[in-house]
Chains A and B, each alone.
Chain A
Amino acid sequence: MARLAVSPPTNVTDRDRPRRTPTALAIRRFRQSRSALVGSVVLLLIVLSALTASRLSPYNPLKIGQGEALTPPSRAHPMGTDRFGRDVFSRVLWGGRTTLPVGLISVSIAATIGVSSGLIAGYRGGRMEAVIMRMVDLMLAFPGILLALFIIAILGGSLVNLMIAVGIASIPDYVRLTRGMVLSAKEQEFVLAARALGYRESNIMFRHILPNVMAPLVVMATLRIASAIITASALSFLGLGVQPPTPEWGKMLAEGQEFLIYAWWVTFFPGLAIMLTVFSINLLGDGLRDALDPRLRLRAASKSSG
């Protein structure tokens, strides 16, 4: 694939004095960022409401015929009701319990496989690296959502397969980032020292190198949760992901599409939920990036899907 070396723009501001420890600096920068703060607060609220959905939601999200169908937002139903008379607000709350884990788990799958392959490729080099990087090239040859679609086409659409598909499809980014950083870390003194002392390879990789390349990985993983949520809800929207009756935001959007003209609320609120979640994660990720690794800006900016 294209590996173009463009001198990356740096955004280190003059205020960052080199006297403090990196961690303290990072925390300070993060706290200074208003957007990061907003992002974390909104995200926290979303996560909390999903966690407490069983208490917060006024109605059963699955039971049909509890109320009049397709009533507009009112005091009884703050987000209106859907075609089965179900409370949209309750379904949006419960939907978070599907969508958020899908984002988290698929990113965990991708990060685990991607980071360890990247470590191995970067550290070992040689044939191992060649094989891994050719695999990465291959996966990158599938534009956007195509790889996930391909996997879903083989496995079929379901919650678990959705996480697998989205997870696998985003492995390459982790491999490339990890490998790149490992390549430069490998030559640094602490690694050379560890090697001279005869530490085991895996020990060096995971104990010494990984912590030092962690920061940009965390930034990327955070931002990738956002795009994973978009991809997963897109697949569910297409009918290839989560199946009813499980409430899921993308799926709810698809269900509302049919009567968008008469009942905008069925579509509007689940979509808003996706957007707010992704928005807050993006803000948080931006804040983290500015705090931890300003050089990542270009790379992160070029990634998104949906």
Chain B
Amino acid sequence: MRKPDDHDQPLTLDQVTRGMQFRRLNRREFLAFVSAGAAAAAATSVTGRLLPLQRVTAAPGGPAPKAGGTLVYAVVSVDDRFDPAATTFTSVRQITAHVCEPLVWELGPGRYYPALAESWTVSPDATTFTFKLKQGVRFHDGTPFNAEAVKFTMDRIVSPTMIAGAARGNLGPYERTDVVDEYTARIVMRRGYAPFFGYLNGYLGIVSPTAVRTMGDAKFLFNPVGTGPFVWREFVPNDHITLVKNPNYNWASSGFSRNGPAYLDAVIIKIVPESTVRVGALRTGEVHFIESVDPLGLRALQRNRGIVVIQQEQNGIPHSLLLNMSTRTDTGKPARTAELAVRQAACFAVDRAGLTKTIYGETGKPAWNFISPLSWGYDRVAAGMFKYDPARAKQILDEAGWKVGRGGVREKGGERLTFDLVFRARRDEPRSEYIQANLNDVGFDCRLLALEVAAQRTAILGRNYEGVYTWDPQSDPDMLREVAYTRGIYNRSFYSNPQVDKWLDDAMGLVSQAARKPLYSNVQRQIMRDAIGIPFTHSLMTHAKRAEVMGETVDGLGATTIWYNIWLNK
């Protein structure tokens, strides 16, 4: 591992204000607003695991960056549609962010750098965001980038004909975008939306209006066109995606400390679902960089010279099992977990530490709360509300009338205590088997339903399950909205509590961190009381690369590797 660098130092006012102009905020408030990430950065540095933003300006005496070459980057899976507005996957966002650049990059927790926006202002009530745009930027199709494109991108996400993904949730209470002039766009929210900045980094990448119009959405989904340093070349399903260098690129974010086209001629994103195969391919040099190293692979790679392991704790919603509270499923019957006692029992039944150790090893830490301890909004009380206690789980079920019946499965009124666990085939199977064993131990009959991604979404829509997973790297505590808000994007519990909604809405309109924090604490405690799910593991982003790969940057979420500054030292 490399030595930590600038992440360990608190941000200077200068760093924070770069690109940011606040009008009527006093200095304290404004610091509170942006310190979201600073707090997180400080928190991570304590663990000593956070790997720094690697500056491309080489250390004195180090080799100078060289242009050329193709980076082969192995990922676990890339599914879905390759349109930043349509996808719900961080794995896809990582790719589209290189093609359809965002307005703002978040290159360290809470550290925002201008990307397509040169500078910005935020109104004190956090309803109006005004972006001054870079000039002379062109999309890959040759058309110019301007305020109209920003408006087009944002309007498209909320358009009723668009099947929008995570972007829709990220836009929050979006009302409209005003084209103030050719290079000034004003995004107006219906109410305060302080977390907006944390979401600009990725799913809200700017698309070429001309390309969308000429191709139509259906085609654009598989041929994204933006302004980024890489141009979409091809997608071979289940095999690879190729991006090639954008030779005209000269509007790099100041966060990257340089300008001009990317060093790499091309990036091949190779889809290699099996972890051992990724590890093997990295060792043989077939690929340069691999994502998601498994715990055993990690041990093996740490002994390997010429290979560098990159670990970074991820802020966001930990790996969690959400419990379906819906009383109206597709089958017309309530989910078993619509009953509070059943949910509580499940929460006590799952051995989170054991699961984390068995499945994640050194690539995860047990989770007890729905947000990461890296977040300034983390509430310790909520985190202490459940622990692993199977005896307690059994007692709760006994008291609720679920008595042990045939084969050790509990029954009540002729109904068996079934638990349908819907999950991604192959990828989620190990943890599902672990949870299944835990639940069956206390008298559930847990059935595993392995589905591919799209089928899983349909199942979620039909509400035909007891448990389903979620996980999302995010930076602002507003991430709680995803699982706790009535219409939250990953609210797969179908949880709806007006009080919780109100806390979340109220917190969103406040710019001061101190004022927001208690509201988020309330939310965390309430959803824990209502046992909406079981957070079980905080993951550490665990990637590995060959030593000749230099200059990669990981974004503030610990979720996106940015390839712009990567060069191959051969």
Selected from A65, A257, A261, A262, the residue in CB contact (under 8 A) with B354 is A65
A64 interface residue per 8 A CB criterion: yes
Selected from A65, A245, A258, A261, the residue in CB contact (under 8 A) with B440 is A245
Take A244-B448, A255-B429 as given contacts and tell me if A262 and B274 are in contact as well, using a CB distance cutoff of 8 Å: no
Mask, A54-83, CB within 8 Å of B = 1, is 000000001111000110000000000001
Q: Which residue of B lies closest to A156 (CB)?
A: B449
What's the nearest-Cβ distance from chain A to residue B481, in Å?
Answer: 34
Is A69 touching B358 in the complex (CB atoms < 8 A)?
yes
Is B450 touching A64 in the complex (CB atoms < 8 A)?
no
**Residue of A85, A244, A245 ringed by the most chain B CB atoms within 10 A:** A244
Size of A's binding interface in residues, CB under 8 A: 22
B396 interface residue per 8 A CB criterion: no
Take A65-B358, A70-B296, A262-B296 as given contacts and tell me if A257 and B274 are in contact as well, using a CB distance cutoff of 8 Å: yes
What's the nearest-Cβ distance from chain A to residue B447, in Å?
Answer: 7
Is B276 touching A245 in the complex (CB atoms < 8 A)?
no
Selected from B280, B358, B447, the residue in CB contact (under 8 A) with A261 is B280
What's the nearest-Cβ distance from chain B to residue A230, in Å?
Answer: 21
Selected from B300, B430, B448, the residue in CB contact (under 8 A) with A243 is B448
Selected from A62, A83, A258, the residue in CB contact (under 8 A) with B274 is A258
What's the nearest-Cβ distance from chain A to residue B435, in Å?
Answer: 10
A259 interface residue per 8 A CB criterion: yes
Is A262 touching B276 in the complex (CB atoms < 8 A)?
yes
Chain A residues numbered 16-66 whose CB sits less than 8 Å from any CB in chain B: 62-65
Is B447 touching A243 in the complex (CB atoms < 8 A)?
yes
Size of B's binding interface in residues, CB under 8 A: 27
CB neighbours (8 Å) of B315 from chain A are none
Q: Which residue of B lies closest to A261 (CB)?
A: B276
Take A70-B296, A258-B274 as given contacts and tell me if A83 and B437 are in contact as well, using a CB distance cutoff of 8 Å: no
Q: Which residue of A lies closest to B433 (CB)?
A: A244
CB neighbours (8 Å) of B447 from chain A are 243
Selected from A62, A64, A65, A259, the residue in CB contact (under 8 A) with B276 is A259
A260 interface residue per 8 A CB criterion: yes
CB neighbours (8 Å) of B280 from chain A are 261
Chain A residues numbered 199-258 whose CB sits less than 8 Å from any CB in chain B: 239, 243-245, 255, 257-258
Interface SS of A by simple majority: loop
Alpha-carbon separation in the docked complex, A260 to B300 (Å): 13
A84 interface residue per 8 A CB criterion: yes
Q: Which residue of A lies closest to B357 (CB)?
A: A69
CB neighbours (8 Å) of A69 from chain B are 358
Is B358 touching A245 in the complex (CB atoms < 8 A)?
no
Q: Which residue of A lies closest to B450 (CB)?
A: A239
Take A69-B358, A259-B276, A259-B296 as given contacts and tell me if A239 and B433 are in contact as well, using a CB distance cutoff of 8 Å: no
CB neighbours (8 Å) of B379 from chain A are none
Q: Which residue of B lies closest to A85 (CB)?
A: B358
What's the nearest-Cβ distance from chain B to residue A237, in Å?
Answer: 11
Is B296 touching A64 in the complex (CB atoms < 8 A)?
no
What's the nearest-Cβ distance from chain A to residue B272, in Å?
Answer: 12
Is B434 touching A64 in the complex (CB atoms < 8 A)?
yes
Q: Which residue of A lies closest to B273 (CB)?
A: A258
What's the nearest-Cβ distance from chain A to residue B420, in Å?
Answer: 11
B287 interface residue per 8 A CB criterion: no
Is A259 touching B437 in the complex (CB atoms < 8 A)?
no
B328 interface residue per 8 A CB criterion: no
B190 interface residue per 8 A CB criterion: no
Q: Which residue of B lies closest to A243 (CB)?
A: B448
Mask, A83-107, CB within 8 Å of B = 1, is 1110000000000000000000000
Selected from B275, B425, B432, B436, the residue in CB contact (under 8 A) with A258 is B275
Chain B residues numbered 413-429 whose CB sits less than 8 Å from any CB in chain A: 425-426, 429
B371 interface residue per 8 A CB criterion: no
CB neighbours (8 Å) of A65 from chain B are 351, 354, 358
B279 interface residue per 8 A CB criterion: yes
Alpha-carbon separation in the docked complex, A132 to B427 (Å): 43
CB neighbours (8 Å) of A257 from chain B are 274
CB neighbours (8 Å) of B433 from chain A are 64, 84, 244-245
Alpha-carbon separation in the docked complex, A287 to B448 (Å): 42
Alpha-carbon separation in the docked complex, A65 to B354 (Å): 8
Selected from B300, B437, B448, the residue in CB contact (under 8 A) with A64 is B437
Q: Which residue of B lies closest to A69 (CB)?
A: B358
B313 interface residue per 8 A CB criterion: no
Chain B residues numbered 324-383 whose CB sits less than 8 Å from any CB in chain A: 351, 354, 358-359
Question: A64-B438, A257-B274 are known contacts; what are 4 more A-B pairs with Cβ within 8 Å?
Answer: A83-B430, A84-B434, A239-B426, A263-B296
Contact surface of A with B, Cβ cutoff 8 Å:
62-65, 69-70, 83-85, 157, 239, 243-245, 255, 257-263
A-B contact pairs, 24 of them (CB 8 A): A62-B440, A64-B358, A64-B434, A64-B437, A65-B351, A65-B358, A70-B296, A83-B430, A84-B434, A84-B437, A85-B358, A239-B425, A239-B450, A243-B450, A244-B436, A245-B433, A255-B429, A258-B276, A258-B430, A259-B276, A259-B296, A261-B276, A261-B279, A262-B300
